[in-house]
Amino acid sequence: MLLPLAFPAYASIQDISGPQINVIESDFNSEHTTSFVSWRTENGLHHTAAGSSKGSINVFSFYPTNAPRSDSRARLTVTPPSEHNPPTAPSSSPSHSRRHSRSLQSPSSLSFNQALINVSARARVVSGVSREQVEAPKNYVDFEDEPGRLKDILRSNSKHKRTLADSILPNFDRGVVIEQSPAPASPPLLPTLPNSPSGVSSTSKNKDDLRSLLSATNSPTFPPGSLSAPPSPRQLSPHFDGSPSRGTVKSSIILDPCGPGHAASAMRYIEAVNLLVVLQESGNLSAFDMRDSTCVATCECMTMRSYQDQFWKWEAIRIVSTVDNTYHILACASPSQPPFAETFGLADEPRDSKARLNMFELSVGDPHGVHPTRFERLASDVWQVNGPATGVELLVDTDGSFQLMYINSTSYLVTRCLTIIPAYEIRARGRSFTSSPTHSQEDHRSLAIPNPFKAFGSKSAESVALLGQNNNSGTEQESISPTIATSNLGRVRLEEEESLGIVISSPEVSLEGITARYGGMNERIIGLAWSNTDITGFTVGEQEGSLTTFPVPFRSRGRIQGVHFTDDEAFVVLSDNISHYCLRRVDADNNTATTSSGTSIIAQAIQTTTISGGSSLMLSWSRSSPHDVLALRQLRSGQKEILVHTFNPRQDVSTKQQRRIMWRAQSPSSGTIPGGATLTSVLPVELNCVLLGYSDGHIRQTSLPCLLQRRNHVRPPPLSAFSPISGSDVLFDKVSDMSLPSSILNMHLVRNDRTGERFILGGTDDGGIAIWTLESLKLHARFTPFIVPLTRVAQVLQSNDTAGPLRGSLLCVSGDGTVAVVSIDGFEMLYLIPGASSPIARIYVGGDDNNRAILIYADGSARVWDVESGEFLRAMTEEKAKELVDAGGWINISLDKSELTSISISMLSGSAGPVSLCTLLLSLDRFLKYTSVNVKSSGLVLSSSSAPSNATLSQLRAVLSALLTPGLSPDIDEICENRLGTSPSPSTVGFASAHAATIYHHDHPVYAWSMSAKVSADRVLAIVSVLRTLSLAEELSHDCQTVITFYATSLTHVVGASYQAPDVAYLATQWFDSSNDVRQAAKTLFDAGIVRLSDEESIALVDAWQHHLPCLQPSMEKESAKSSLALFICGYMAADKYSLLSTSSLIDISKSIALYLHDESSAHRGLAIDLCARGFQIWQHYVDAMAMLRALYTLATNTRKETISAQNIGPQARLAVLQIASSNTPLFMTTLTLDILNPKTLDQRKAVMQLVAFMIRKRPLILYPNLPRLMEAVVKSLDPNSTASRDAVLDSATEIIGYVVKTFPTVDFHMATQRLAVGTSEGAFIMYDLKTATQLYVLEGHKRRPTACTFSPDGRRLVTMSLEEGVVLVWKVGSSFTSFFNPGAPPRQGHGGSLPFKTLNFNVGDEANMTIAGTLEWVKFEWPAERTVRLYIRESVLTFST
């Protein structure tokens, strides 16, 4: 389980007098935005996602324009930016605060007496604000305080001034209502909008609330020239400073991989399922759930990435919806230069106008997690079209058929019918082909390849790809014509091409995009194609080849960023001018025509609305908000802002724009921080040693606790390299002694294997290399051998004798492939091997004289060098180099292997800017395993500062501080801060998935629990896991349990209706995938989760999972992760709520448990054992209960080495046996005695008897009522007539008898005579002879339950006692002459009848009143002489003569 931990306070260090820098905003300002998408959710909130050139995505959420942001932080009466239920918080006093205070008026963890806010869902969604009258914060501008000039403008009826106010006021779209407050009436300022709710005009709703509308937090600033009429907004009011108050950065997504060459080149939002599909230029396709910005699916557009052939840049995606929750995605790539082209100075050669395509099926998962969201790749790598990637479109008709449409290199519009072949048909074809090798490719039963493919024969990559046997070389693949009439590409089948005609008449025009749809203007297809400045429309009729084009009048200084259809007869164009068009059918005289007209009919685009948007980096339009266009701009100061432009297509063309600033960065770009240094590299060595490289050339050392917690210290001095304290809120342990003149871009840990000393090798942005000692951060050496920065470091050990002159050296590889060889002893530059035209892939050293080096490059070339002389020997291909290496005498120098650093914390792969650099991945499993050992070994000396665990506790407290969400409960906050030692943390916690890390930015604790059930589960699991480890310290145990209880059970009451309860399926998954420390916490939370579920939710969950139970799956799927997860969820649900489940469900669950339990090779026997212990009383009705118990007996006592596994299920099985024995004693004892008396094998009998010994030690009271049956079975197992059986169980039987005699006072054994006396609950004592394994006789003298018995030292007397009767009986049990004549009868007691030899009464008062457990502890006999016995009852001592 990985936890992304962000520490933004260390992103930059600066003088205390400098401005506060927001690392998120600063990073966003400096990065190049490559994609921008927006959408609007059902609750009326706007959202945007901005992808960068380095592979990061920032997600923004925007409050409704009437929601005061200050109130949202302090009181949470504002709907937060969430796509589901908005967070609510406990009610609080009406006083408002500008800054968030931790002492919230919220219910405590122990009592929930205070009333929660009870606001209807409709009120929260529509209004977004409380109806409570409150005092406005001071930074809200009061209308009465506005300058007189502004009053005149707003109260004027002139058209010019009305339009200006109209531009300033926010647009009131549907779902946005501003609360009215008493204010003087004003004349109407805005026209009635058709989208106003309930048909009420915006004027009537908002004319009374101008005071709040014109506040500083609501009033955006527009750049000069954006308004057509003076005066400018700057002249209107000094309060119009453009400071937006509605937007917030919700999260930052860091893709994996990230960095140069992995830009987020295209993004599309799927409104119906709230998914964001992201395409990286390197070919990674990912889907993100925008409720919590987590990655839910990912795949590759190409099966392999090679630099030998044409490099492809994936830059466009098309998405169409087919059946429910299934989407087909077409990814398009253009020929491009590799990301290192600029580094190597490769010329930007003219590229062919062709595109590579691939198609995917996106299946959206179900809400219960049974079928996760996933991509399925449908096409092979060889699919190409002769045209640009931007000119490809995918359409789906109402009947579900696909149409591929593209504009080829000759500007012709080409269409091809596309069919998706079912997966089962592909598998069937493959079996048909492989089962009959004599089949020809013309056999329609194996491959439906038409005649056009005959010329290619077996070399056809497209036909071979159908069978998944694509072994052709890249050259052969390129030779295939991209316009073959009919072809199969994996599961994609393309029909014949249909060339319809020329769309763009100017060959010099570069096509930028195409969009089309079915059914427009009553034609079969209507579409639009555009370049940077021109747009051409086209229609395709029902008749073959009936293509008609029409011009679209458009003028703009900027390039066209997108064209979108709003419906069948309207579209919007995004550029500097945002224009809305409607389509109509006209005849030759430009009159509106109908289909019945006999004249020629053409389509005509009429511009209805145009607004000036100004210069923008990116523009985005979404179908969910068709009248809004969101724009991303960058100001001259370098700060970026997001605006929304609102247009009404029903209004006149000359209508002025309505726009408002949604968000603006307040911090400068990351490279423009005055008087400071920015973080440029991170190297986590261990938990208490994290190295940070900065742009000022210094390395600074800190620790994980310092990164995650603020340290209280005095006001620091100005920024100084030699001071351990630098910055306003940052404390470092060490700082390097000398400053380098350039930034430190990367650091590597190396070790001298001869001395054991460790060093830091760093690369700088000027191509330099520097080496520091790890212990003191003292600079040892510095070189500048490269033109481009260092990228990788490999170490050749001294012990490697075959490395020749490279022994004991460091191979430093730069970005251009240059290799600098540095000696680790003395740090001298030894050799320099020049670079090539692409990066190095592998290095081999050796050869005949161990003086050669083979460098294999990413483009498939290889070079052989003489290391000592630096002489270039020869060049060859990669294949030839491999042949040379296979001949022997060469060793591989791994470029990816470095000195092992911390196993608990690691960096994100690649670098996407300061956000990724300020994020470390904490492996929670390894971290807790390490810290728990230290805490356990520390004992009770935790309060001592010199205790070994003091640093461990600091680490646990730091991680816990970052995970906790203070502000929910004052009581819990007090416990955490004053008793557990946590403190408010400036760090943030994210969510890590397989291919992305998401960092959340929220300013209120409620938001952390209001995103999604999965994120809530991940966070609470981490909290409980850390608290469980911290509770190993005895003095903290009670407080840790209190906090665990709060976060596991009380959040639903504290957070309110917006609380997203932890996902039980996610917790179950973590139980399988995590270490023991985390899985115990996952089990605790899972149990709490299923208790919280309602009956309907419980039934729905089981119904969704029960079809995947192991007993219902084929043999190959019984051990699958889904089957075991289904048993986990359904099994524990049935154990707690079995009455809700049907009989068939209970049967399937019981059979699945038995299946895993009896399968010796199963990896999930531990799960089956735990479920047996949890619900055995349920399963016993549906399966063979005795067989289940016998399996547990075997697992509990098996000690064979071959049966011991990593699961260590022996202790778990023993605990299960104890629990079953306590809850179902009769069945347990019956099975136990039967297996002792009639075992299938001797090993089984031995195992059962070992189990009996275990039970006697652990749970003696369970066996007490059944001692007679048990001892009878043990005695019979010693039958001398069965020598082999007796020898096998003798040791176990002897052990059992010894434990029984030692534990139970009612059983005694005399060694010399081999007699065993066993008391029964009816008052009788049974005498056994272990020599013959027979019962001798029964002594019946007590009327009530006996308490104890004992043999005299000579074995001739047996003394029995009953506390309930208050009597001691003495029996003669020695052998006599008469016993030979009356076998089975007790010996004569010296008088007639069966009365005991002596009867002695006693009375000890209240001391005789004790439980059975008390008798085992407080009653015992002692023989001071052969005929004198002493009886101890608690403190009483009685002596009797026998």
CA-based R_g, the chain, Å? 40
Dist. CA 359–CA 287, nearest whole Å: 15
Question: Among 72-76, 261-265, 598-602, which stretch is predicted with the lowest mean pLDDT?
Answer: 72-76
The amino acid at residue 550 is F
Dist. CA 659–CA 614, nearest whole Å: 11
Token pair listed for 1323: 């008052």
Dist. CA 1271–CA 1233, nearest whole Å: 9
Dist. CA 213–CA 141, nearest whole Å: 9
User: What is the rounded average pLDDT of the residues 168-186?
Assistant: 36
- What's the pLDDT tens digit per position in 329-363? 999 988 887 666 666 666 555 566 788 899 999 99
- What's the pLDDT tens digit per position in 1339-1387? 988 999 999 999 999 999 999 999 999 999 999 988 766 666 666 677 8
- What's the pLDDT tens digit per position in 1045-1071? 999 988 988 898 889 999 999 999 999
The single-letter DSSP state of residue 467 is: T
What angle separates helix 1283-1303 from helix 1267-1276, to the nearest 10 degrees?
150
CA torsion angle 737 740 746 747 (round to 10): -30
- What's the pLDDT tens digit per position in 4-61? 888 888 888 765 555 567 778 888 888 889 999 999 888 888 899 999 988 899 999 8
* Cβ-contact 298, 256 below 8 angstroms: no
**What string of DSSP letters covers 744-781?**
EEEEEEEE-TTT--EEEEEEETTS-EEEEETTT--EEE
Residue 808's pLDDT band, with cuts at 50, 70 and 90, is: confident
User: What is the rounded average pLDDT of the residues 925-952?
Assistant: 69
Res 189 pLDDT > 50: no
Residue 816's pLDDT band, with cuts at 50, 70 and 90, is: confident
Tell me the CA distances in angstroms from 316 to 53, 59, 390, one per residue in order. 15, 20, 7
- What's the pLDDT tens digit per position in 570-580? 899 998 888 88
CA-based end-to-end distance of the chain: 70
Dist. CA 516–CA 529, nearest whole Å: 9
Residue 507's pLDDT band, with cuts at 50, 70 and 90, is: low
- Which residues fall within 8 angstroms of residue 428, CB to CB, at 6 or more apart? none
Token pair listed for 477: 């693949």
Res 1410 pLDDT > 70: yes
pLDDT at 430: 54
User: What is the rounded average pLDDT of the residues 873-898?
Assistant: 82
pLDDT at 446: 36
Res 472 pLDDT > 50: no
User: What is the rounded average pLDDT of the residues 96-112?
Assistant: 36
pLDDT at 455: 35
Residue 92's pLDDT band, with cuts at 50, 70 and 90, is: very low
pLDDT at 130: 36
3-state secondary structure of 28: helix
- Which residues fall within 8 angstroms of residue 1275, CB to CB, at 6 or more apart? 1316, 1328, 1330, 1333, 1334, 1335
Highest mean pLDDT among 190-204, 975-989, 1202-1216, 1390-1404: 975-989
Residue 218's pLDDT band, with cuts at 50, 70 and 90, is: very low
Q: Which is higher by pLDDT, 462 or 962?
A: 962
User: What is the rounded average pLDDT of the residues 386-402?
Assistant: 87
Question: Among 226-235, 707-716, 911-920, 1428-1437, which stretch is predicted with the lowest mean pLDDT?
Answer: 226-235
The amino acid at residue 1413 is A
User: What is the rounded average pLDDT of the residues 161-175?
Assistant: 36
The single-letter DSSP state of residue 90 is: B
Token pair listed for 490: 């994996």
- What's the pLDDT tens digit per position in 590-632? 677 765 555 566 788 888 888 887 788 889 988 888 888 899 9
* Cβ-contact 391, 407 below 8 angstroms: yes
The amino acid at residue 810 is L
The single-letter DSSP state of residue 1323 is: S
Dist. CA 26–CA 19, nearest whole Å: 12
Backbone angles phi, psi at 285, to 5 degrees: -115, 125
pLDDT at 908: 80
Q: Which is higher by pLDDT, 9 or 963?
A: 963
Res 1441 pLDDT > 50: yes
Listed residue (1097, 990, 1098, 1009) closest to 1048, CA to CA: 1009
Res 94 pLDDT > 60: no
Res 178 pLDDT > 90: no
User: What is the rounded average pLDDT of the residues 937-950?
Assistant: 53
pLDDT at 938: 66
Res 435 pLDDT > 70: no
Question: Among 90-94, 487-491, 1003-1007, which stretch is predicted with the lowest mean pLDDT?
Answer: 90-94
* Cβ-contact 1186, 1227 below 8 angstroms: yes
Cβ–Cβ contacts within 10 Å for residue 942, how many? 17
Question: Among 686-690, 934-938, 1165-1169, which stretch is predicted with the lowest mean pLDDT?
Answer: 934-938
Residue 1043's pLDDT band, with cuts at 50, 70 and 90, is: very high
